[in-house]
Amino acid sequence: MTATEAYSRPNAAPEDRYYTYAYLDEQTKRMIRRAILKALAIPGYQVPFGSREMPVPYGWGTGGIQLTAAIIGPEDVYKCIDQGADDTTNAVSIRRFFATVADVATTEDTGEATIIQSRHRIPEQPLADGQIMVFQVPQPEPLRGLEPRETETRAMHAYGEYGLQYVSLYENISAYGRIAATAGYPVMIDERYLMSPSPIPKFDNPKMHMNPAILLFGAGREKRIYAVPPFTRVRSLDFEDYPFETQSWDEVCALCGANDSYLDEVVLDDQGQHMFVCSDSHYCADRRAKGHAGPMAGHALAHIETEIAAEEA
């Protein structure tokens, strides 16, 4: 090992130094970095990039991992969530991956993180200036379900021709009496580009509007990067007589009692018992630590994540 390599990863265990810093080679990082800057310059536009093979399959967050690898530095604090939870398999393994190859501190605390990689949620705690959200995106093209040809959808974006999307929403209303999309609800960025917010629940869509954080989206299999700069207008499509609405629940979180967070329904047994809990595990744990309690506070499920955290440590 040369002196330069040791300098490059001063905190890494010797065996980890066989990986280049943040896994990707430097030319790949430059290519991704150029794409990110162009994505910020043209908010909502999908920049093609040369997506690489990653050590997880497509669909497991290869786009988000490549984005993170291109931006991360040793002074970053990294958080990774999967459907809002820090303790699911995918989130835990991606978090460990960056702790190993990028020598970063990891956290579950939304406020403490400088980079938050996410599969399909925006944390409940409002994001701050200087934070970067990295979204894993399965299908970057909001129009793909309506028009399978890339040549056509690219032309539709080029000319701002989004009538087809509105027709689709209208057909929703005529079939169901409402706009039935619940996740991946299409948004207009700075009144120019139609964008898929990745399959976040539409509950999270309003959080993107004039958000102080940088929002980066990466689709590994589809080889696209796009971005929403801070303080950018993000409008969920709707009609005057059918305004955009987010999901709401009659229940509160069974563990922490929150009535303002996105809830997951958990089936408890075969007798029809079920509970609603916060999808955002850090938000829920934080509220419980502050003394909030829901109707099923103290349930065995509440202890799972503390056990996992103890095992990891």
Binding site for other proteins (CB under 8 A): 4, 7-8, 20-22, 26-27, 29-31, 33-43, 45, 47-48, 70-74, 130, 132, 154-155, 157-159, 190, 192-193, 210, 212, 214, 227, 229-233
Nearer to other proteins, 18 or 176 (CB): 18
DSSP, collapsed to helix, strand or coil, labels residue 215 as strand
Nearer to other proteins, 115 or 275 (CB): 115
Catalytic residue selected from 61, 63, 218, 284: 284
Give the CA angle between residues 255, 258, 264 to the nearest 5°: 65
Buried b (16+ CB within 10 A) or exposed e, 173-201: eeeeeebeeeebbbbbbeeebbbbbbbbb
Is residue 256 part of the annotated active site? The answer reads: yes
Q: Please tell me the distance from the alpha carbon of residue 79 to that of residue 87, in angstroms, as a whole number.
A: 11
Q: How many residues does the chain have?
A: 313
Nearer to other proteins, 162 or 242 (CB): 162
Task: Tell me which residue of 217, 213, 201 sits closest to 279, measured CA to CA.
Answer: 201
Nearer to other proteins, 210 or 304 (CB): 210
Please report how close the Cβ of residue 117 comes to other proteins at its closest, in angstroms: 15
Catalytic residue selected from 44, 63, 64, 218: 44
Catalytic residue selected from 64, 184, 256, 294: 256
Nearer to other proteins, 33 or 274 (CB): 33
Catalytic residue selected from 253, 257, 272, 291: 253
Q: Please tell me the distance from the alpha carbon of residue 152 to that of residue 255, in angstroms, as a whole number.
A: 48
Is residue 278 part of the annotated active site? The answer reads: yes
Is residue 291 part of the annotated active site? The answer reads: no
Please report how close the Cβ of residue 46 comes to other proteins at its closest, in angstroms: 9
Is residue 80 part of the annotated active site? The answer reads: no
Please report how close the Cβ of residue 38 comes to other proteins at its closest, in angstroms: 4
What is the C-alpha end-to-end distance of the chain, expressed in Å?
A: 30
Q: Please tell me the distance from the alpha carbon of residue 207 to that of residue 202, in angstroms, as a whole number.
A: 10
Q: Which residue has the tokens 């800057």?
A: 37
**Catalytic center residues:** 44, 253, 256, 278, 284
